[in-house]
Amino acid sequence: MKTKLIKVGNSKGVRIPKPMIEEAGLSDEIELILDKNRIILQSMQSSRAGWSKAFLEAEEIHEEPTTYFANDWDEEEWTW
C-alpha cells in the first residue's frame, strides 16, 4: 500500500486503515522498531503472553496428577 506522511505537530505520521490495524492485532500501545531503512510497527506483547494457553495445554496432556520427584525413599520411608 502506498501512502503519504502527514504533519502531526512537529512530527509526521501515517494513517493506518482500520482493517490493517485489526488484522495486525495492534492496540493503543505499539512498539516502533527501526531496522535499517524500515520502520516496523509491532503489537506490544506481555512478557507472559501465551502462558495461560500453555498451562491449559499442559494440563490436558497429564490426565492424572503425577509426582515429579518421587523415588524409592519416598515410597519406603513415608507413611501415607
Alpha carbons 7 and 29: distance in angstroms, whole number: 20
Quote the domain boundaries for residue 59. Answer: 6-77
Alpha carbons 43 and 30: distance in angstroms, whole number: 5
User: Is 21 contained in some domain?
Assistant: yes
What does the pLDDT look like over 13-63, one tens digit per residue? 999 999 999 998 888 888 899 999 999 998 877 667 778 888 888 877 765
User: Is 1 contained in some domain?
Assistant: no
CATH number at residue 15: 2.10.260
User: Is 62 contained in some domain?
Assistant: yes
User: Is 42 contained in some domain?
Assistant: yes
What's residue 15's pLDDT?
93
User: Is 22 contained in some domain?
Assistant: yes
User: Is 73 contained in some domain?
Assistant: yes
What total number of domains does the chain contain? 1
What's residue 36's pLDDT?
92
